[in-house]
Amino acid sequence: MYIDINGINTHYEDRGSGDAVVILHGWGTDLSLYEGLIAHISKTHRVIAPELPGFGETQEPPASWNVDDYSAFVLKFLEALKIKKAVLIGHSNGGRIIIKTVGCGSKIEVPKVILIGSAGLVHEKTPEQLRRQKRYKLGKTILSSAPVKAVFPSALEKFKQRSGSEDYRNATPIMRETLVKLVNEDLSHLLTSIKQPTLLIWGENDDSTPLADAKRMQELLPDGGLVVVKGAGHYCYLEQPSFVYRVIDSFLGVK
């Protein structure tokens, strides 16, 4: 299905019936990685899952976005579908958007929240990371200068591709700027404002959003509970789906 949201042709799934559950996917993914989750929850609920701008079959945003922009987009999307009440499930970057949306006071009623390997916390940089950051800024400044650009017009782009993470290297220029904005905003202060019962589902060996993040979130959430998926990583819902589905069913009151 497709719908126009503020000029962005947005691809989404709308499946099942009953109380609404909204699933927000992670960075660099599309709905194909959430098919099993959508199929399972849609047996008992109406599941709405958009592909966020810049991913899957949904257009990129017109300019680089921050977390507020994605949050506003999600609320506009739900408004267009006339969704006034929904449980929110977010994986990785999808969790980041949910923390911002609910923590700032959502315009829709959110009875429960599920965060799976959620992003949203910013860690203090190590000395080595600070050194790499300094080298990157220096290189970017030099390669951005007019004389260098005139002689080596593609040098800056190649330098950015070599220097960034895999997510950064694989992104378009707009989405690279977006990624930088997203990962540099710490949302820990918003967790205390999320009063809804919140389930944290985390892979024991998650190396993208480490388990320490989950424990920190649990401390900050007024009503947060953590379930650790043993032996699983960042995509715990794919690695151990039966276990994760049972946990979600229990939290949603499915019998």
Contact 54, 61 (CB under 8 A): yes
Query: Does residue 242 surpass a pLDDT of 50?
Result: yes
Q: 3-state DSSP call for residue 10?
A: strand
Report CA-CA distances (Å) from 153 to 86, 157, 174. Answer: 49, 8, 19
Residue 50 bridge partners (DSSP): 12
Query: Does residue 216 surpass a pLDDT of 70?
Result: yes
Pick the more confident residue, 184 or 157.
184
d(CA 34, CA 93) in angstroms, rounded, equals 14
> Which residue segments constitute the domains of the chain, with CATH numbers given?
2-122+185-252 (3.40.50.1820), 127-178 (no CATH)
Q: How confident is the model at residue 166 (pLDDT cuts 50, 70, 90)?
A: confident
Q: How far is CA 8 from the centre of its chain?
A: 19
| φ and ψ at residue 138, rounded to 5 degrees | -65, -45
| φ and ψ at residue 199, rounded to 5 degrees | -100, 125
d(CA 169, CA 96) in angstroms, rounded, equals 21
Write out pLDDT tens, residues 68-126.
999 999 999 999 999 999 999 999 999 999 999 999 998 899 999 999 999 999 987 55
Q: What is the pLDDT of residue 142?
A: 75
Query: Does residue 130 surpass a pLDDT of 50?
Result: no
Q: Which residue has the tokens 């699933």?
A: 23
Quick one: which H or E segment has residue 186? none
Q: How confident is the model at residue 146 (pLDDT cuts 50, 70, 90)?
A: confident
Q: How confident is the model at residue 169 (pLDDT cuts 50, 70, 90)?
A: confident
d(CA 194, CA 116) in angstroms, rounded, equals 16
Q: What is the pLDDT of residue 153?
A: 75
Instruction: Calculate Rg over the CA atoms of the chain.
Output: 19
Q: 3-state DSSP call for residue 12?
A: strand
Pick the more confident residue, 141 or 27.
27
Q: Which residue has the tokens 């190396």?
A: 207
pLDDT above 70: percentage of residues in the chain: 86
